[in-house]
Chains A and B, each alone.
Chain A
Amino acid sequence: MTAAIELRGVVKHYGETRALGGIDLTVDAGRIFGFLGPNGAGKTTAIRILLDLIRPDEGSAFVMGFNCQRESVQVRKRVGYLAGDLRLYEGMRGNEFLNYIDSFRPEKKDATYRDALCERLGLDPTKRIRALSKGNRQKLGVVQALMHRPEVLILDEPTSGLDPLVQDEVVRLLEEAVSEGRTVFFSSHVLPEVERISQSVAFIRQGELIAVEDVAALKSRNVHVLEVTFSAPPPPSLFALPGLKELHRDGSTVRVQAQDGVDAVIKACATQTVIDLRTEQPSLEDVFLAYYTGDGPTGAHDERREARRASA
């Protein structure tokens, strides 16, 4: 399988700030690939390097085998791009804007498909952009990225600002693109969205690629979250188990994540009197957070969960 997108040791600094610290990433052609990470993790930086809007300090990037810096026009011929911070020409009408974007690839102009896209997303392209809501601007951005049926779609937060029904339609459009053998690379900071849409996912944090995984494989991983209350302090042997991660401890109650099934955990717990035991089916979020070392984000996530439980 050929690589649609490839990043090799890409480093990027903004002044003193390191935005990307040596990213290696391969996206296979014909896949929906989610690029996941919190805001400010470096997703947009990596995407803008692919389009040669910014240049890496080290390393190189390729799209469909073309070097993003040296052959950037060849790259952009094959790419449909939606910017994360989408800005449009306020004075133009939607149609005028789409004609302008079409003018860069006259050979790929397909008015029928373009009109169909507008209709499916519920966008009126005769209106002036100035008069469009945030959601309608985003629809226009999606249409201009998709309308020439590019080989590779690079979309920075594509569903941002769209209501759920339109989001679903965008997802269907992306799935159609992939069914035609095209590649979708999109960024998101919303995990359930990535979980739902993508086939593969890369997780980026503070400019470092934490993990690249197959979503199906991730979901099938035998990860469990258990909350156990003991009659006395929990047995130390429990925490010595391989693949076990302590999420929270409050007196004799512990919350742990087991990455390799629950059997060993149950047996270790059973060496002491167990008062209560709860297990949860982990979300992709939990699976992913298993990659974290036990600092900030895990704790914060745990607190969020606590808050959700308290309010429920």
Chain B
Amino acid sequence: MQARSIFTKALFDQKMQILGFGLTLAVIAAMDVYIWPSYRDTLQNFEIPPAFEALLGGDLNLATAPGFLSAEFYSWIPILLLVYAVIQGTGAIAGEESGGTMDLVLAQPVTRRSFVLQRIAATILASVLIIAIGYTGWLVSVPFVDIDVTLWDVFLANVNLLPITLLFFALSLAAGAIAPTRGMAVAVTVGIATATFFMQTLAATVDVLEPLRYLSPFYYYGNGQPLVDGLNWAHVALLTGISCGLAIVAVRTFEERDVSVGGASDLTLAAMLRRTFATRTGT
């Protein structure tokens, strides 16, 4: 296999990630389905504290198969996909600059916009592939286990993983276009993701914080329970719209600014510490 364009190179470069994340999703899904029968009876008479329930993704009835799978799988899988999204999002612009290879590519007759759009297209396709490989875990388990979900329910719930993955990809892409280093872009994205994840779960338990949940992408992800509530197309559209907005910010920012060469930025941590130190000692 050889890279014939920015798009194909970006895709080939992440083939191990596609396989790795995809198979991880598949294995966890199959495990959850196969352990379901043995859990079912135990959970039927089990009272879960409401706060704990909220942390698992809202008002779930863990004694039902959709509730169990939502808590055990769909409520936290976006965090796993977030890792992938941040690797790709910060890698596309900030990573290529930190590595110093951006000069090489952008010295070719290609626009910066085309460069970023091809990287976005590659990640969309790769995300679809990861989720599709993950779906095989359901295909090899659901038909063979006495469980009250259909492959179609699970298919829709898997489709629902895509918008939130791409949202964090777009966020980290924009962060990578704005922040001077990849490290800073990773820190910003992971910070926002962690904050909004806990904002969503805390807002579900603490009434005063309730309005805050609407600020969290995890709320629009469907509270972690698309298997219970079904796919909300309005929420899918909203997350996709925000992703498009962030992608436009990323392209525009990158088109306007100077391309940095690896480590050339004076906004490195070392330089910032130096400046801080110099100010404090008055030198």
Query: Hey, which bits of chain A sit against chain B, CB under 8 A?
Result: 14-15, 48, 51-55, 72-74, 76-77, 79, 81, 83, 85-89, 91-92, 96, 99-101, 103-105, 144
Give the size range of B's interface with the partner.
20 to 34
Nearest Cβ on chain B to A149's Cβ, whole angstroms: 14
Residues on A with C-beta less than 8 A from B262 are: 85, 87
Given contacts A81-B107, A85-B100, 10 further A-B contacts (CB under 8 A): A53-B258, A76-B108, A76-B109, A83-B261, A85-B261, A87-B261, A91-B13, A100-B2, A103-B4, A103-B5
CB contact under 8 A between A100 and B9, given known A53-B258, A76-B109, A81-B107: yes
Residues on A with C-beta less than 8 A from B259 are: 48, 53-54
8 closest A-B pairs (Cβ-Cβ)?
A: A87-B100, A104-B108, A81-B107, A54-B258, A77-B109, A53-B259, A76-B109, A100-B3
Contact B110 A73, beta carbon cutoff 8 Å: yes
Nearest Cβ on chain A to B111's Cβ, whole angstroms: 6
Nearest Cβ on chain A to B30's Cβ, whole angstroms: 32
Smallest Cβ-Cβ distance to A14: which chain B residue: B266
Q: Which of A55, A72, A77, A87 contacts B104 (CB 8 A)?
A: A87
**0 or 1 for each of B1-26: is its CB under 8 Å from A? (1 = yes):** 01111000100010000000000000
Residues on B with C-beta less than 8 A from A92 are: 3
Residues on A with C-beta less than 8 A from B50 are: none
Nearest Cβ on chain B to A219's Cβ, whole angstroms: 33
Complex Cα–Cα for A101 and B104 (A): 9
Contact B106 A83, beta carbon cutoff 8 Å: no
Determine if B103 is an interface residue (Cβ-Cβ < 8 Å): yes
Q: Is the interface of A mostly helix, strand, loop or mixed?
A: loop
Complex Cα–Cα for A81 and B104 (A): 8
Q: Which of B3, B102, B106, B110 contacts A99 (CB 8 A)?
A: B3
Contact B107 A51, beta carbon cutoff 8 Å: yes
Residues on B with C-beta less than 8 A from A73 are: 109-111
Contact A83 B104, beta carbon cutoff 8 Å: yes
Smallest Cβ-Cβ distance to B266: which chain A residue: A15
Residues on A with C-beta less than 8 A from B100 are: 83, 85, 87
Smallest Cβ-Cβ distance to A144: which chain B residue: B104
Contact B108 A53, beta carbon cutoff 8 Å: no
Contact A48 B111, beta carbon cutoff 8 Å: no
Contact B110 A104, beta carbon cutoff 8 Å: yes
Complex Cα–Cα for A96 and B12 (A): 12
Determine if B101 is an interface residue (Cβ-Cβ < 8 Å): yes
Nearest Cβ on chain A to B214's Cβ, whole angstroms: 40
**0 or 1 for each of B181-219: is its CB under 8 Å from A? (1 = yes):** 000000000000000000000000000000000000000
